[in-house]
Structure 1
Amino acid sequence: MVAGAEEGGRAWPGEGPLLLGVRHHGPGSARAVRAALGAARPRVVLIEGPPEADALIPLAADEDMRPPVALLAHAVDEPGRSAFWPLAEFSPEWVAIRWALEHDVPAHFIDLPATHTLAWGRDGEEEPPQGDEPEEGDKPEEEGAAANGGGAVPVDVRVDPLAVLAETAGYDDPERWWEDVVEHRGPGDGDPFAPFTALEEAMGALRETYGSGGHDRDLVREAYMRLQMRDAQRRFGDGIAVVCGAWHVPALRHRTTVAADKALLKGLPKVKTDMTWVPWTYRRLSRRSGYGAGIDSPGWYGHLFRVPDRPVERWLTKVAGLLRQEDRLVSSAHVIEAVRLAGTLATMRGRPLAGLSETTDAVRAVMCDGSDVPLALVHDRLVVGDVLGEVPAAAPAVPLQRDLDRIQRRLRLKPEAAERELELDLRKDTDAERSRLLHRLRLLGVAWGEPAASRGSTGTFRETWRLRWEPELAVRIAEAGVWGTTVLGAATAKAESDAVAARGLADVTALAERCLLADLPDALPTVMRILADRAALDADVAHLAQALPALVRSLRYGDVRGTDTAALTEIAAGLAERIFVGLPPACAALDTDAADEMRRHVDAVHGSVGLLDDVAAPAHGDLRVRWHAVLGVLARRDTVPGVIRGRAVRLLLDGGELAQDEAARLMGLVLSPGTPPADAAAWIEGFVGGGSGGGMLLVHDERLLGLVDAWLTGVPAEAFTDVLPLLRRTFSAYEAGVRRTLGELVRRGPGQPGSAAATGSGIPGFAADLDGARADAVMPVVRLLLGLGSIGVEPDTDNDLVGVAR
């Protein structure tokens, strides 16, 4: 009997210790555990979990501790080897810890120590799944061996005990069965020990049939827990209560010898470990996020645990509030009707109370008009949820984590479970520091933020980040702690190590860019030295062309971030000169795939030369002029693949270095009957394909369109099917309006009324000369659109638009 009757406790009707078999993360189990502990008043509470965490139990009473949280254990010498023990406010283990702290009762973890758990997987041992070690108590991984020496039936598949019990009870859904039997029990429903007695009996029958699952780790864990129970009994008598997975209860109740249990523990591998509390999220409790031992609906379970009464009505009210925030018309009448429908569905399905499936069906029918689109929002925001726990500052942490916490508080960057966008203006000191922090963390492998495309601005002074804190980042921080005790020091050391270990020139250039973004001045000398060495030794033009854009992008940071990029400029200019010399011979005799790749390199180099010429001149001459000369060579050399020649012509035309008549002449030569159709099609793709805006070029210059049209209609039938896929790829990338305009022009034919050739201008629909009267008619509207006021109104003096006349 569990002691405590003299203190107002109620006698435990069974023999031996009070074993409270639970389902992890179950609000019904949590309420039942709280009621049973309150009735029995044990002298000590033993909980399934790593014993190294005993020293962390008092932190659960800290006012800054807010679940969901998790115990994190990681190997000291190998931080990436880690395991989590998540706990939510509705977890029975968390309820047991809080009850023990509130009643000044000792609490201890009794599962296999993390020093052995983390050592599994080394030296050919079986690798334990990360994070699910404490969760498998109610779901064994395999079946086969007996838990208590009985003759179990060997099986080769994993057995879900809840599924077996649900099927036995006539349910096709284990979640529904568990809700009906456990979760919908009220706090004062009958004997507080009855649920555990019934569950122990059911699990005992299952263990007799299926055994322990044939998994040595299960047997070892249960042997260790039995030893810990014996030790507690010697110290506290029978006044002990054990909170563990229901699957383990029959094995813990089974009597074995001390020698037999110690024999199972002999020779276990060990590894030195550290342990702490870390924040956890509802999303990581869900199976949807890949956490194998989680639950489907942590948000719903949290609601069931928190509300004192009328859970369905309160839940549907919460759903209505969320839908109203998303501008959906949901009234109180919808809530009333949804409550009625959920109750009716529960009655028709023979359930004691409406559960998640009934409320979901009611929300879909009444509040979402039968659509699953708003229902998906309800599932994501409420059924799963974005709750992120908090741990107190007193929790143990590596020095790097301490420094990160200090920086986060100073920069007002609070970790959040929900994804959010952060717009940064790098001209502001605080935003610039935030950017440097996020870039340093990315360099360390702590992907708290991911860069995103900025909306409404293309300036280099603006950055957009998508931030989302995941619990696994605590492990990444522990791993990064080997590089230093501060974020700046660790990022610097990591960058220097990555530079030495980099295999290719592009890797070093990308690292140099990241160092400039992260503002790591101490790492730049090492990175620049290795970059210069690699650039001098690398003779592959493709590698040089791949590396140049990253270097040139980095040159912009000297303006916004105040970074000295003089050394980087010299290296980039040197790379550009080597590309100018080596590109024409490197473009000869390329197959189709290699030609496409080289064409992309040509585009990248072309976009980089303009900016590089502005910062590198006059020390390196006029790089832009020299690059145009290289393009001229590529455009006229027959040994260069057509896709590269066409792109070179197009780049020269766009840059004003090639007259339209000359471009038309080159196109006419390529599209002559003497050129193989496949080569001509490749030239066309290079000239007007990809993201070059070639469709608008053909719209505005009907001479070029006429050449393409005449060539295409003259392609022999036997060659047409070969060139058609290439042409389709070229023209299908155009916008629908461009394709429609080109079709109209081709239908009318060059020189017909309405065409550019007929009007005498280069643009369809426009006359040769400006019509002043028609232009003056639109000026008032243009002035209003530009914020300059209408006729007779003074323009906005604050408007800094250049080139707009009154």
Structure 2
Amino acid sequence: MTAATTAPAPDIPVPGRSAVRAGGGGRRGRPLLLGVRHHGPGSARAVRAALEAEKPAVVLVEGPAEADALVALAGDESMRPPVALLAHAVDDPGRAAFWPMAEFSPEWVAIRWALDRGAAVRFVDLPAAHTLAAADPTWSDGEGGYDGGDAHGGRGAEGSRGGAGGHDGAGGRDGDGGRNDGGPCDGSGGRNGDGGQGEGEGRGGGAGGRAVDGLTLRIDPLAELARAAGHEDAEQWWEDVVELRGEEDPTAPFEALAEAMGALREAYGHGGHPRDLVREAYMRLQLRAARKEFGDEVAVVCGAWHVPALTWKTTVAADRALLKGLPKVKTELTWVPWTHRRLARRSGYGAGIEAPGWYGHLFTAPDRPVERWMAKVAGLLRAEDHHVSTAHVIEAVRLAETLAALRGRPLPGLDETTDAVRAVLCEGSDVPLDLVRDRLVVGDVLGEVPAGAPAVPLQRDLSRLQRSLRLKPEAQRRELDLDLRKETDGARSRLLHRLRLLGVDWGTPAPGRAGTGTFRETWRLGWEPELHVQVAEAGVWGTTVEAAATARAESRAVTTTSLADITALAEQCLLAGLADALPVVMRALADRAALDTDVTHLAQALPALARSLRYGDVRGTDTAALAEVAAGLAERICVGLPPACTGLDADAATAMRERIDEVHQALGLLPDTARPADRWTGVLRLLAGRDRVPGVLRGRATRLLLDEGRIAEDEAAPLMSRALSPGAPPQDAAAWIEGFAGGASGGGLLLVHDERLLGLVDTWLTSVPAAAFTDVLPLLRRTFSGYEPGVRRTLGELVARGPKAEGAGSAAPGGVPGFATGLDRDRADGVLPLLHLILGTEPTA
């Protein structure tokens, strides 16, 4: 925000039926300026009608100027919107920007009309070379009003790494208060970045925005127009006056909207967006060039916010002065698929709309849009096993129309249809309604681009692999189960692992089906438009997926210092089938393992090696070198672990317990030649019997020995008895129980089946002094609350039943200490009044 002189409230002519002039669509003033709302189906229909009526020789479209070379691809039969122009810096592919277009975007409609009619198409916005360079905050020309923060959208907008972004269109962006509603123009609501006042000649240097208490605020033109019309809900107002209405005169709506935008620009200047002055200067220069070449047969399709600026009487020299000295980077552009979900404002897209699926339906429905929408909703709900009949659909349509009439709307809008769907089709429940909003109101539509569209070599190789492996990118998330014994599934797994190594997270591993063995993998797949930028970034490592992943792995092996990280890298290389990278990774692994003396680091590194050895057999990879390193790590862990476990505090002991569990599990995965089984048993025995080892580690070591059959049950009881003896500190004894019978380790079942151990715990618990009991209670609650409900119930029944009779099962003569020998009827009768109250029964005499 910047200081500004308070501007008077403008007298805004409201675009609507009252503001539209009557009359035929004859020749109007030239050039034909068509101010639109980005991604507005009403604007798109009006643009198509106006172009058809006026038939210009050239159509100028708001978009990066370098995209002229790509415009012909928009007419390709295999091009399916939503799509986006992607620009990225050649030397820094992560610095990128998108310009999305949907089927109902006015720009897309204008491009397709021109291609179908043989008219020329030019993009006239500031070149992406300047837009991407402006992502660097050091390139900011405050004097000329150029702000290097935000390029075409909110939150660094539809850009990567905070760089430039997609369309600067309709609506409240970062920093703008209220509902962030979209607008009938571009560049409206609070974008990132503030800047100096523009100094261009003419009216370009007007007030910086709405002034409140001496501070300049970014304005939202849609909200301004709605307020001038007496409406607080800007989105609903726009839907009423544009999306749900048609006009006989195709150019009249644009004249009314241009007049309204002119009043706003007269009052607020750049509206808090000084960078727009530079963009508009470039647009005026392009417009002059087009008129010089084509005469007055020129049409301009741009955000309505810019229309007044295109008519300002500025000189060529003044416009060029605004552009002088702009930073510039070398860029490449292409078309990429986009999704309806990323067109939604909730995705963070500054020019986004609330309901891309609904707007797409309004644009494509030939007639009776409400009836057709309810039929779509019914089809979705039926597919999800909801009972929806034809009568439901009829009643929903009637309710939507009634609501529209009561609310004074020309036709049912999204609010009315949503209320009708909730009340009738969803029977008042928001659960199926959320499904409708996700699948239809927003939608999972993913566009397609021609195979011949420019792309980095890595993207072309990825597309080839996707086709050969029948892994089609889809916006909707889905699970993919792979059987690694099959050649195709194995290749799919290697591709997904290679992409993850490159930072392209198309798929993420998911928990597989239980009991299916190591030859199964489950992935969650979901293609997002940003992945194209990640592929472009990864292109610096190679021209194919395999070569790039190999180079990336080798580079990480050289630079990684953590032993655990490099063992994880070795595991990734095996999973990805990168045989050429393994020698470099293994040399680095051996070097790190030889130098690292921290037992904790060694323990963290071993599990990844053990998994690699186990899964390598399934994938047919050579793991001999890996086995040697794993065997060496295991030996060093066995030597260094006992000293490392002494003198630890509670937090360090808990962390070390996790390391011991991981090592124990990893050793079970190692082949017999690399597994020091006897050595590890000796380590656990040493930990279980050493008093200086924290109780949680002694208890855990005892439990692991018992589970592996390394000690008999008769040996476990004396160890527990010693740990829970009266001379042991209560907190240390409670920690021993946590290590031995912790909930996650199945300790509850052990106590269920061995009542001697349960009796020892009970005896110790009843002997804990009252002063110490409150200290050990939280640890005990954590231990026993981790048991399954059935285990806790069984333990309660055992305690209530008391000890087994003498000679029965494992009960010692005289019963188990700590358990009563009979039922205490007086205590049992104490609960009867409460039971009668709960059950509503009367006590018997």
Q: TM-score, normalised by structure 2?
A: 0.86
Alpha carbons 1:441, 1:487 under 8 Å: kept: yes
Q: Which residue of 2 aligns with 1:394?
A: 452
- In structure 2, C-alpha distance between the alignment counterparts of 1:441 and 1:195, rounded to whole Å: 49
Specify the alignment match of 1:519 in structure 2: 577
Name the CA shift for 1:343/1:753 in 2 (closer, same or farther; >3 Å).
farther
1:192 aligned to 2:235?
no
CA distance in 1, matches of 2:438, 2:260: 34
2:271 and 2:631 map into 1 onto residues whose CA distance is 66
Partners of 1:570 and 1:616 within 8 A in 2: no
CA distance in 2, matches of 1:179, 1:27: 10
Find the counterpart in structure 2 of residue 799 from structure 1. Answer: none
Mapping of 1:154-553 within 5 angstroms?
154=211, 155-186=215-246, 189-553=247-611
> Which SS does the other structure have where 1:664 is aligned?
helix
1:292 and 1:456 mapped to 2: Cα distance?
44
Native 8 Å contact 1:589 1:640 kept in 2:
yes
Give the match's secondary structure for 1:135: coil
Partner Cα separation in structure 2 for residue 192 and residue 145 of structure 1 = 36
Instruction: State the match for 1:87 in structure 2.
Output: 101
Q: Percent identity at matched positions?
A: 72
**CA displacement 1:249-285 (0-9 Å, x = unmatched):** 1111211111111111010000000000000011111
2:74 aligned with 1:60 = yes
In the alignment, the residues of structure 2 paired with residue 329 and residue 121 of structure 1 have an alpha-carbon distance, to the nearest angstrom, of 52
Number of residue pairs aligned between Structure 1 and Structure 2: 746
Q: CA deviation at 1:752?
A: 6.2
Is 1:141 matched with 2:190? yes
Greater CA drift, 144-153 or 79-88: 144-153
**Structure 2 letter corresponding to 1:148:** G
Question: CA shift at 1:625, angstroms?
Answer: 1.4
- Residue 17, structure 1, aligned to residue 31, structure 2: yes
State the shift of 1:290 in Å.
2.5
Q: Could you say what secondary structure the match of 2:167 adopts?
A: helix
2:149 to 114, 118, 127: 127
**Cα deviation digits, residues 675-706 of structure 1 (max 9, x gap):** 11110111100001142100111111111111
How far apart, CA to CA, are the structure 2 residues paired with 1:141 and 1:415?
A: 34
Structure 1 residue ranges without an equivalent (≥5): 1-8, 764-806
- Aligned residue number for residue 787 of structure 1: none
Stretches of structure 2 lacking an aligned partner (at least 5 in a row): 1-23, 140-147, 151-155, 159-164, 170-185, 817-845
CA distance in 1, matches of 2:583, 2:487: 25
1:734 to 762, 783, 787: 787
Q: Choose from 646, 654, 660 the match for 1:602.
A: 660
Equivalent of 1:659 in 700, 712, 718: 712
> Given that residues 483 and 489 in structure 1 are in contact (C-alpha distance below 8 angstroms), is that contact kept between their aligned partners in structure 2?
yes
Q: Is this contact kept in 2: 1:750–1:757, CA < 8 A?
A: no
Amino acid at match of 1:687: F
Kept after mapping to 2: 8 A contact 1:145/1:213? no
Paired residues of 2:340 and 2:445 also in contact (CA < 8 A): yes
Pick aligned residue for 1:101 from 115, 121, 132: 115
354-363 or 707-716: bigger deviation: 707-716
Instruction: For 1:207 and 1:750, locate their aligned partners in 2 and report how far apart those are by CA, in whole Å.
Output: 89
**Could you tell me whether the CA contact under 8 Å between 1:145 and 1:215 is conserved in 2?**
no
Q: Does 1:636 pair with 2:689?
A: yes
Contact residue 52 and residue 275 of structure 1 kept, 8 A: yes
Give the structure 2 partner of residue 702 of structure 1.
755
Counterpart position of 1:713: 766
CA distance in 2, matches of 1:661, 1:151: 89
Deviation string 1:213-259 (CA, Å, 9 cap, x unpaired) is 34332111011001111111111112111000111111112111111
Residue in structure 2 matched with residue 674 of structure 1 by the alignment:
727
Letter in 2 for 1:139: S
From the superposition, tell whether residues 269 and 753 of structure 1 become closer, same or farther in structure 2 (CA, over 3 Å).
farther
Could you tell me whether the CA contact under 8 Å between 2:62 and 2:123 is conserved in 1?
yes
- In structure 1, what is the Cα distance between the partners aligned to 2:384 and 2:668? 46
Of 12, 28, 36, the residue aligned with 2:50 is 36
**Whole-angstrom distance in 2 between the partners of 1:753 and 1:26:** 85
Deviation sequence 1:175-211 (CA, Å, 0-9, x none): 111110110123xx22111111111111112222222
Map Cα deviations across residues 301-337 of structure 1 (whole Å, 9 max, x no partner).
1111111100000000010000000111100000000
1:124 aligns to what SS in structure 2? coil
* CA deviations over 1:42-75 (Å, ceiling 9, x no partner): 1110000001000100001100000000000000
CA distance in 2, matches of 1:352, 1:197: 22
- Pick closer, same or farther for the CA change 1:393–1:576 going to 2, 3 Å: same
SS at match of 1:134: coil
Other structure's SS at 2:745 match: coil
**Selected match of 2:678 from 608, 625, 646:** 625
Equivalent position of 1:584 in the other structure: 642
- Aligned partner letter, 2:492: R
Q: Structure 2: which amino acid aligns with 1:390?
A: E
Query: d(CA) in 2 for partners of 1:40 and 1:123?
Result: 43
Question: What is the TM-score when the length of structure 1 is the normalising length?
Answer: 0.90
Q: What letter matches 2:684 in structure 1?
A: L
Q: Deviations over 1:129-166 (max 9, x none)?
A: 24244223242436895763445654533321111212
Question: How far apart are the structure 2 equivalents of 1:58 and 1:670?
Answer: 80
Task: State the distance in 1 between where 2:54 and 2:615 align.
Answer: 67
Asked if structure 2 preserves the Cα contact closer than 8 Å seen for 1:20 and 1:246, the reply is yes
Given the superposition, is the C-alpha separation of residues 641 and 12 from structure 1 closer, same or farther in structure 2, using an over 3 Å criterion?
A: farther
The structural deviation recorded for 1:748 is 2.6
Deviation at 1:117, TM superposition (A): 0.1
Q: Partner letter of residue 665 of structure 1?
A: P
Match of 1:3 in 2: none
1:289 Cα deviation from its structure 2 partner: 2.1
User: Which sits farther off after the overlay, 189-198 or 201-210?
Assistant: 201-210
Letter paired with 1:30: A
1:130, 1:162 → 2: CA distance?
A: 19
Q: 1:170: Cα distance to partner?
A: 2.4
- Mapped contact 2:61–2:302 kept (Cα < 8 A): yes
